[in-house]
Chain A
Amino acid sequence: MAWTYEQQVRLQKEFDILSQYFPNLNLVKVGTNDCIEGYMYTNDRSLYKIRLYIPTDMPYSVPEVVITYPNPVKDFYGKDLNSYGASATMHLLGSKDGYPKICTYKAERWNSNVTFYKVLIKVRLWLEALEGHIRTGQQMDYFLQHQI
């Protein structure tokens, strides 16, 4: 997949922002997909690895985001998040490449002004909500308003 000139310009803008706020994330190739991948720490220093698939029609689609570490990601009950499939209360969209896919933006609320940075902020919030769920057993909904 070759990026168009406009997409290259946009990617440069995206990476400029990311290098400032998420310097741990890198551009990697997963199969034929260009992805942004790297580690994120939650507030209580739990470590997660996330992967954001850059959509080939960027910036017109919501990027898919999965949690690749820990593997499997477990819930309060020790259950693999993959087993939820798509779940509104857990803010999950099923699995991709064997990893749980998390909900950041709804497709109908997506606009091309949303940067990867904003998506990744949502990912950080999602991870905090997961931690809250693991701590208390409350559904993730309790910690997250439905992502818009």
Chain B
Amino acid sequence: MVNFIFVLENDIRQLYNDKLYKPIKGYAYGMDNNTVIHAFVKKPITPPSGNIINVTFHLCDINEFRNNESLYDGEIKLVFAIDEDGYLKHTAYSRQAGEANSFEIKFIPEQSELYSRSKGLLETSVLKNKTVGIVGIGSGGSPIAIELAKAGVGRFVLIDFDRLELSNVARHVCGINDLGRYKTFAVRDYILQKNPYAEVSTYEIDVNEHREICSDALSKVDLIIAASDNDKSRFFLNDLALKYNTPAIFGRAITRAIGGDVLRVRPRLGPCYNCLYSQDLRNTEEEISQKERQAKKFLPDYTSEESLNAVVQVGLASDIAPITNFMVKLALVELSRGTNSGISSLEEDLVADFYIWANRREYVYEDWSKLEYNFNKPSILRWYGAKVMKDPDCMSCGI
């Protein structure tokens, strides 16, 4: 039987760079009856589940490596050396109850390698160095963060003051194991699961109350994702985008997620969030999460999730997903703009700044024609780009 030990390539590179030629106690977690082990030189921020296992990392010279026969009872030893040709040699073994076990070491490569499969499609080397600031890490912001991490975005600033509650779980990336945690911390851990080399900074603050901290936190990002649940914060984020000349993407789902809309703000090149508002183009129907928050104020804490949902009529995650997914696409286009990536052609398609989506023919979308076999009439489950002009009298972006 082959047992595997997964090791971060960077951990070993670091030992080599620091010339740490001696045994070092590591951190390891065994899963599936300890047939799969993840081992780390430094304690990981997000340890995998599983049993804690004793391991030792040992970087030695190549002669020592070849003659190394000192087996530690019960303990797994990972031995590394660089041979005469500069290749990394490695082996791992243990002896339990007199019986020797060997393991196959598998390296988790550096970020650029991790996302090499997107190469050609996305300029992963570019995305690796981009920072995305996400405000609102709820049912909208959390999947966006994870998708961007999967695409290879290397740096994140997460801002949200909320903690994960039972009623969020059905629509959030995080699950029961994260109940009670700040959404920022929980989602940071999920990002690191997709990309252990990502740099994630978090701010557990209410944007509407700590504008200065928020302003500083977003001053150096390459893109702002406004996934908060209230207009007040969005107007502020719009002003920040204009102040820092940083593109921003605003998105929201309306009641029961019957649909939603997305606005891309490219400062000075197109309309801002305020321009859109003054032209009265958005459905003024209240947003889901805001309603949920309001309803919770009036309902006792012991209200079941079911009755809460009946009151606020939140949407399904699958109804929110098209909106967040579209925001991710717009984000990748903005982050890759000018890099001649495989998605450059999208720049020609996504010329509109404002987009509308409907999930069901209800309320404001009631009169839309049935999807059936029509493809030339407005219908559900399709994106529609709308031309929105810059408002010359806009108080935020006008002169």
Contact = CB atoms under 8 A, between A and B. Distances in A.
Interface of A: 6, 10, 13, 57, 59-61, 108-113, 115
Given A13-B395, A57-B208, A59-B395, A111 B236 contact: no
A109 B285 CA distance: 10
17 contacts: A6-B239, A6-B243, A10-B395, A13-B395, A57-B211, A60-B232, A60-B235, A108-B231, A109-B284, A111-B274, A112-B236, A112-B238, A112-B239, A112-B396, A113-B278, A113-B394, A113-B395
Interface in B74-95: none
A116 to B, nearest CB: 11
Given A6-B239, A6-B243, A13-B395, A110 B278 contact: no
A61 B208 CA distance: 10
Contacts of A115: 395
A63 to B, nearest CB: 14
A106 to B, nearest CB: 11
Contact of B274 (A6, A57, A113): A113
Closest 6 interchain pairs by CB? A112-B235, A111-B277, A113-B278, A113-B274, A113-B395, A60-B232
Contacts of B204: none
B238 to A, nearest CB: 8
B278 A111 contact: yes
A109 to B, nearest CB: 7
A113 B395 CA distance: 5
Nearest to B231: A111
A99 B183 CA distance: 42
A60 B277 contact: no
Interface in B377-399: 391, 394-396
Most chain-B CB neighbours within 10 Å: which of A61, A108, A111, A113?
A113
Interface of B: 208, 211, 231-232, 235-236, 238-239, 243, 274, 277-278, 284, 286, 391, 394-396
A109 B232 CA distance: 10
A113 B275 CA distance: 8
Contacts of B208: 57, 60
A60 B238 CA distance: 11
A123 B351 CA distance: 41
Among B211, B235, B395, the one with the most A-chain Cβ atoms within 10 Å of its Cβ is B395
Contacts of B274: 111-113
A43 to B, nearest CB: 27
Nearest to B236: A60
A59 B243 CA distance: 15
A93 to B, nearest CB: 18
Contacts of B394: 113
Contact of B277 (A10, A57, A108, A113): A113
A118 to B, nearest CB: 10
Contact of A61 (B232, B238, B395): B232
Contacts of B238: 112
A119 to B, nearest CB: 13
Nearest to B286: A108
Given A6-B243, A13-B395, A111 B235 contact: yes
Contacts of A57: 208, 211
A10 B231 CA distance: 19
B236 to A, nearest CB: 6
A144 to B, nearest CB: 19
B211 A113 contact: no
Given A57-B211, A115-B395, 20 more contacts: A13-B395, A57-B208, A59-B235, A59-B395, A60-B208, A60-B232, A60-B235, A60-B236, A108-B286, A111-B277, A111-B278, A112-B235, A112-B238, A112-B239, A112-B274, A113-B277, A113-B278, A113-B391, A113-B394, A113-B396
Given A60-B232, A60-B235, A61-B232, A112 B395 contact: yes
Contacts of B211: 57
A10 B274 CA distance: 14
Contacts of A59: 235, 395
B2 to A, nearest CB: 60
Contacts of A108: 231, 286
Nearest to A107: B232
Residue with the greatest number of chain B CB neighbours at <10 A, chosen from A6, A59, A60, A110: A60
Contacts of A110: 231-232
Nearest to B242: A6
A13 B394 CA distance: 11
Among A13, A59, A109, A112, find the residue whose CB has the most chain B CB atoms closer than 10 A: A112
Contacts of B235: 59-60, 111-112
Contacts of A6: 239, 243
